[in-house]
């Protein structure tokens, strides 16, 4: 029993393999068929986007799928090359080798291996929480900006020209300069394919439904748009002999299963690639887990973040040893897999078998496949990632979230991918710290006829001239400790009659060492001014921690269980008067504390 | 009137110059005398520590003091070269030029200029709050580690050997290797000076007091220890002709006022020095403002962080144009200045005049001053900065604060100064975010006989089987949003009878865009499970912000003013029973919420 539990823990596949039945099998097989058809053009196109030979895209869609099937926790996630990670791979590998060279291909392998290791290390060290530091606006801005970059990078294939550049600033002039040299047949193929794919995405399904085609079949046919596009354009190129006219094609792709590979160890190059690999892991993980969670929720299943790390790590290691490049869970293909009826990861295993079959038997068919058609499939698929709606919503909802998002977008487009994500994360953390560094602080007084204390600015409450009761609505830590110090000195200086200060700690969940130092300083300065410092409503864990320091021994006043107890001790007369006053209705509105 | 107010705003000196009287003058003059005596050995020693010619130390103690006197807001802060900033200058300048070379001296000037500009920019952009990101444990660990580095770097002067290195890892073997070549007369001078200075610091004052010397004079005499030490050792070197025996001396120091200077613009070098300059500014500002605040509080004066930035910025610009190097407010000298009776910044102006006099007339006296004696003054003064007590306290109080401190210390000693502070700041921010990313979440129930709701695990409260009331004790933001999602799914999955979830938002001060996304997802998934989501006790500003999004339109349930109102609407029967139950005493203990 124990053995089985442990096996399940590390090999989630065991749990769904038990009880696998015929209906599961049918669902998985059909889904695999659809996803395979979808993956053929995608894997060739994303390999092109990553600057890698086309077969690398196929290889990355075989072993990684099987590795994820064994170790991943999502039942329907479909792993493989995806657009964002492909561009990140190109940017990282391009820094150490020329696109398409042997050392470039090797760099992509190293990136896959390092990503795998980083993901597995995150699983072992339980560092999955690091992904939460990528706030949604930053991720959303990042994906929008990368989608724009990707679309821009594919324009050269639509035009049939050369134009290199990692940022929009580099790409735009290169494209404008090269545009007059565009190859007309290429432009024609590219434009027609793009228009067709847009239509297939938005107009085909409604049309089929109008012809009484069943919804599920209409869906699948609409998804097969890219396959139709590459078949049609390949035929046109072959029949009209457009290669002679300068149309770039995929060309000869070696047939066969992925050769085994192991990237050669080179400390300098690996060290140079590590930050990019870490970023690829993090972005890949975030993208993948949100897809996995969305799908799992639809069937009331749960996804374990740590198992996801293991699954994705295994998939990337598998990519590294089978001549692939970094992979992650893709949104579009996972949704297709799910909608086509996949029940378990066996669908992915069947998909891997399908792609392997293609790699062994059908590569000669890609000889006349025009690059412009692949570029069209990339452009149409990434344009759906550009999410201006969220930009607009974020602008309306919060300027600080918007500025983190805007910084990410602008820096990705102008400076680069890594700088962009770094700028976004840094800005969102700084803005968060800045916000909490100026916590809401309220002077409170007793609500007549009750034992409750509320903000003097929002309620008609009773206060004592000798006692200043202050409620801080935030934990006390390094970023806000000095603010409290300054605030308190200001208030005490303005009120010469004050003899006691009571800090109401009901909202203080933590006091860190910096804040403790500040409290010591506050205590000291108040003492010199003849003012006693008290605490009230200190939470249990906070009090336990304070007892590990000398602060409570130095404290000039007392620690009161409740603010009411504090006031009845420090100013019994006023408290008695407040207790006896008629209760006010207002209290029930606890909202405005 | 308006003009005067504006003048005062930018030139705080105006406010204390008005009403300046004779007693102020006496205090300032006496303090200036003591501080000048203290500054002579210190400025020579810190220039040596910074790897600069001795006169640079004197120059940095003239114009910057006057600039700070005009623009700074502290009345008693004494500005000039300090140990930590001197070592940081050496580390930064050492990266682009050989110690003592012309371009090294130039680099120090550039550092001063850039620090000045950074400080002034922080003042204009109101970025003083950035300093709060340096948590106390990180600063304390940083200063302790730098003090150890400084002491280690001076050992070579005590031994009279050459041993270079920026980290303890580089210095230790170099010192051990060089130790056998130590120069005996140098070792003798260094040891005797060190022992004498330790004794002067701790044993001299009690001794003088026992001989009925007046306290203030005893204090001043004890502070004059370093001056006595350098006079005595200089005489010994001169009389015994120890230069012949290989004792290194300060040698000839050019006489005269500081020559004007303006660092040559060199974009590469400036860009390389900018991060170090920014760090010097930040550390200098933190060190300086804590001294200033401590002293101001003793006399019920206030220090304005922004004016401090202007004052320190002006002081550094002054250093840059008068052949100095980066300066800041020093702890020891400011305390001496204060204790000796300084009332206003005129004390610093007098001090500057005193040092200028020394630079013009007395530099020949330093010819035979042994470097070992200067090293001894540095070592004795920095050893007091090593604060193991705080390390111990922090360990006891909080492991996470301790680990940020330990990381700072270890990385400073092993890798370097900048890496150390970066490691400390990063770790303290990550640990803080990690802590808030797992907020305290409580299921709450009604306290019988009251309208209050408390944690079911800590109180005997009444709950409804159909309604799950959840209180989150933290603002909702990118780091904790996903945690709430996971927590909520887990709880709802465990309770099949739940029809309603109420999020009690009394402790939620902010909901950022990431958390809003999470709430939308939670809403959606609960809806699919047939569970309605409600909010209660939402604070005014949070509700205002939510109204800028579509969330409230999507909300399946309602927003209730109070949790009691929510419960009496969602489960009137249970609520009526709870309302009618006899009140329990327990409630008054609001502490354990």
pLDDT band, very low/low/confident/very high, at A165 (cuts 50, 70, 90) = confident
Q: Is B537 on the interface with A (CB under 8 A)?
A: yes
Query: CA A74 to CA A305: how far, in whole Å?
Result: 10
Which site among A457, A513, A528, A585 would you substitute to test the B interface, given the most B Cβ atoms closer than 10 Å to its Cβ?
A: A513
Residue A586 has pLDDT above 60, yes or no: no
Token output for B342: 């300084």
Which of B512, B540, B591 lies at the smallest CB-CB distance from A401?
A: B512
Query: In angstroms, what separates the C-alpha of B506 from chain A's closest C-alpha?
Result: 7
Q: Is B125 on the interface with A (CB under 8 A)?
A: no
Average of pLDDT values for A318-326? 95
Query: CA A237 to CA A245: how far, in whole Å?
Result: 10
Q: Is A481 on the interface with B (CB under 8 A)?
A: yes
pLDDT of the residue at A224: 77
Residue A320 has pLDDT above 80, yes or no: yes
Residue A500 has pLDDT above 70, yes or no: yes
pLDDT band, very low/low/confident/very high, at B302 (cuts 50, 70, 90) = low
Q: Which residues of B touch A593 (CB under 8 A)?
A: 506, 539
CB contact under 8 A, A429 and B433: yes
pLDDT of the residue at B584: 55
- DSSP result, B80-107: E--HHHHHHHHHHHTTTS-TTSHHHHHH
B91-122, pLDDT tens digit by residue? Answer: 999 988 888 788 999 999 999 999 999 999 99
pLDDT of the residue at A587: 40
Nearest of B246, B243, B247 to residue B190 by alpha carbon: B247
Average of pLDDT values for A190-194? 92
pLDDT band, very low/low/confident/very high, at B383 (cuts 50, 70, 90) = confident
- In the numeric block, the tokens 């005893």 are attached to B218
Q: What beta strand segments (E) does A66-151 contain?
A: 79-80
Average of pLDDT values for B353-359? 94
Query: CA B560 to CA B342: how far, in whole Å?
Result: 61
Query: In angstroms, what separates the C-alpha of A364 from chain B's closest C-alpha?
Result: 46
Q: Is B114 on the interface with A (CB under 8 A)?
A: no
Element (H, E) at B7: helix B2-10
Q: Is A394 on the interface with B (CB under 8 A)?
A: yes
pLDDT of the residue at B10: 66
Token output for B419: 């890496």
Higher-pLDDT residue of B201, B53 = B53
Residue A351 has pLDDT above 90, yes or no: yes
Query: In angstroms, what separates the C-alpha of A526 from chain B's closest C-alpha?
Result: 10
Q: Is A51 on the interface with B (CB under 8 A)?
A: no
pLDDT of the residue at B588: 39
A198-216, pLDDT tens digit by residue? Answer: 888 888 888 888 888 887 7
Query: CA A526 to CA B291: how far, in whole Å?
Result: 18
CB contact at 8 A, A65 and A374: no
Which residues lie across from A472 on neighbouring strands? A441
Q: Which residues of A touch B592 (CB under 8 A)?
A: 539-540
Higher-pLDDT residue of B318, B143 = B318
pLDDT of the residue at A9: 65
Query: In angstroms, what separates the C-alpha of B350 from chain A's closest C-alpha?
Result: 30
Say which residues have a Cβ less than 8 Å from residue B280's Cβ, sequence separation at least 6.
Answer: B85, B88, B89, B92, B111, B115, B326
pLDDT band, very low/low/confident/very high, at B455 (cuts 50, 70, 90) = confident
pLDDT band, very low/low/confident/very high, at A591 (cuts 50, 70, 90) = very low
Nearest of B481, B173, A403, B212 to residue B163 by alpha carbon: B173
CB contact under 8 A, A561 and B514: no
- In the numeric block, the tokens 């770790």 are attached to B427
% of chain A surpassing 70 pLDDT: 95
CB contact under 8 A, B510 and A435: yes
Q: Which residues of B touch A479 (CB under 8 A)?
A: 129, 132-133, 432
Range among A325-339, A470-484, B49-63, B122-136 with highest mean pLDDT value: B49-63
Which residues lie across from B238 on neighbouring strands? none
Residue A588 has pLDDT above 60, yes or no: no
pLDDT of the residue at A6: 61
Token output for A213: 């085609």
CB contact under 8 A, A513 and B394: yes
Token output for B398: 């909080």
Which residues lie across from B535 on neighbouring strands? B503, B559
Q: Is B298 on the interface with A (CB under 8 A)?
A: yes
Mean pLDDT of chain B: 87
Query: In angstroms, what separates the C-alpha of B567 from chain A's closest C-alpha?
Result: 14
Average of pLDDT values for B463-472? 92
Nearest of A62, A14, A31 to residue A322 by alpha carbon: A62
B385-431, pLDDT tens digit by residue? Answer: 888 998 999 999 999 999 999 999 999 999 988 889 889 988 998 88
pLDDT of the residue at B570: 93
Q: Is B562 on the interface with A (CB under 8 A)?
A: yes
Nearest of A396, A34, A387 to residue A216 by alpha carbon: A34
Nearest of B103, B83, B81 to residue B94 by alpha carbon: B103
Q: Which residues of B touch A135 (CB under 8 A)?
A: 477-478, 512-514
pLDDT of the residue at A2: 47
Q: Is A428 on the interface with B (CB under 8 A)?
A: yes
Which of A297, A514, A549 lies at the smallest CB-CB distance from B135?
A: A514
pLDDT of the residue at B449: 82
* Cα angle for residues A405, A408, A413 (degrees, 5° grid): 130
CB contact under 8 A, A525 and B561: no
CB contact under 8 A, B437 and A400: no
CB contact under 8 A, B512 and A565: no
Query: CA B212 to CA A147: how far, in whole Å?
Result: 82
Residue A385 has pLDDT above 70, yes or no: yes
% of chain B surpassing 70 pLDDT: 95
CB contact under 8 A, B539 and A592: yes
- Angle between helices B305-321 and B63-71 in degrees, nearest 10: 150
Cβ neighbours, 10 Å, residue B17: 13
Residue of chain A whose Cα is closest to the Cα of B490: A302
Q: Which residues of B touch A561 (CB under 8 A)?
A: 588-591
- In the numeric block, the tokens 């590219």 are attached to A190
Query: Does the ipTM surpass 0.90?
Result: no
CB contact under 8 A, B483 and A132: yes
The dihedrals phi and psi of A291, each to the nearest 5 degrees, come to: -60, -50
CB contact under 8 A, B525 and A297: yes
Residue of chain A whose Cα is closest to the Cα of B286: A482
Average of pLDDT values for A113-130? 90
CB contact under 8 A, B590 and A562: yes
B9-20, pLDDT tens digit by residue? Answer: 667 777 777 778
Token output for A549: 């320091």
Query: CA-based diameter of chain B, in Å?
Result: 101
Q: Is B392 on the interface with A (CB under 8 A)?
A: no
Query: CA A429 to CA A404: how far, in whole Å?
Result: 9
**Backbone Cα Rg of chain A:** 31
CB contact at 8 A, A169 and A414: yes
- DSSP result, A163-186: ---SSHHHHHHHHHHHGGG--HHH
């Amino acid at each position: 029993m124990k053995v089985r539990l442990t096996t399940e823990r590390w090999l989630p596949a065991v749990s769904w393999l038990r009880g696998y039945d015929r209906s599961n099998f049918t669902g998985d097989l059909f889904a695999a068929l659809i996803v395979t058809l979808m993956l053929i053009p995608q894997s060739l196109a994303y390999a092109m986007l990553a600057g890698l030979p086309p077969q690398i895209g196929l290889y990355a869609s075989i072993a990684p799928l099987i590795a994820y099937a064994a170790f991943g926790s999502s039942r329907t996630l479909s792993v493989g090359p995806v657009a964002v990670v492909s561009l990140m791979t190109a940017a990282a590998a391009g820094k150490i080798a020329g696109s398409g060279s042997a050392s470039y291909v090797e760099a992509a392998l190293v990136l896959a291996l390092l990503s795998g290791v980083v993901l597995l290390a995150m699983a072992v060290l339980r560092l999955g929480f690091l992904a939460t530091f990528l706030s949604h606006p930053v991720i959303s801005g990042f994906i929008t900006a990368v989608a724009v970059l990707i679309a821009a990078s594919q324009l050269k294939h639509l035009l049939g020209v050369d134009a290199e550049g990692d940022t929009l600033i580099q790409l735009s002039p290169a494209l404008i300069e090269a545009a007059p040299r565009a190859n007309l047949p290429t432009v024609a193929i590219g434009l027609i394919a793009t228009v067709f794919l847009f239509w297939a995405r938005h107009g085909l399904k409604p049309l089929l439904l109008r012809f009484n085609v069943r919804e599920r079949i209409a869906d699948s046919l609409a998804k097969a748009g890219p396959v139709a596009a590459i078949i049609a354009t390949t035929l046109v190129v072959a029949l009209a002999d457009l290669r002679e006219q300068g149309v770039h094609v995929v060309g000869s792709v070696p047939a066969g299963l992925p050769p085994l590979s192991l990237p050669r160890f080179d400390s300098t190059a690996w060290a140079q690639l590590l930050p990019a690999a870490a970023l690829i892991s993090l972005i890949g993980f975030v993208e993948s887990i949100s897809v996995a969670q969305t799908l799992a929720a639809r069937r009331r299943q749960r996804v374990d973040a740590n198992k996801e790390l293991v699954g994705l790590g295994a998939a990337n290691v598998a990519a590294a040893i089978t001549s692939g490049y970094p992979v992650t869970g893709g949104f579009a293909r996972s949704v297709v897999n799910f909608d086509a009826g996949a029940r378990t990861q066996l669908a992915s295993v069947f998909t891997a078998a399908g792609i392997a079959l293609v790699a062994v038997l059908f590569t000669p068919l890609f000889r006349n496949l025009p690059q412009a058609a692949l570029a069209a499939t990339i452009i149409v698929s990434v344009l759906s990632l550009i999410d201006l709606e969220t930009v607009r919503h974020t602008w309306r909802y919060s300027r600080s979230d918007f500025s983190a998002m805007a910084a990410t977008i602008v820096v990705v487009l102008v400076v680069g991918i890594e700088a962009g994500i770094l700028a976004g994360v840094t800005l969102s953390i700084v803005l968060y710290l800045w916000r909490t560094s100026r916590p809401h602080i309220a002077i409170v007084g007793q609500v007549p006829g009750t034992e409750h204390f509320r903000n003097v600015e929002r309620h008609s409450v009773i206060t004592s001239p000798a006692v200043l009761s202050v409620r801080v609505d935030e934990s006390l830590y390094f970023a806000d400790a000095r603010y409290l110090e300054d605030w308190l000195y200001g208030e005490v200086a303005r009120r010469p009659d004050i003899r006691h200060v009571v800090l109401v700690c009901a909202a203080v969940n933590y006091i860190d060492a910096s804040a403790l130092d500040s409290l010591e300083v506050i205590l000291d300065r108040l003492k010199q001014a003849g003012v006693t410092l008290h605490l009230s409503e200190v939470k249990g864990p906070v009090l336990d921690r304070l007892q590990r320091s000398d602060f409570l021994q130095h404290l000039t006043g007392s620690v009161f269980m409740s603010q009411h107890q504090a006031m009845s001790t420090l100013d019994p007369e006023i408290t008695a008067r407040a207790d006896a006053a008629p209760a006010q209705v207002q209290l029930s509105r606890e909202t405005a504390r």
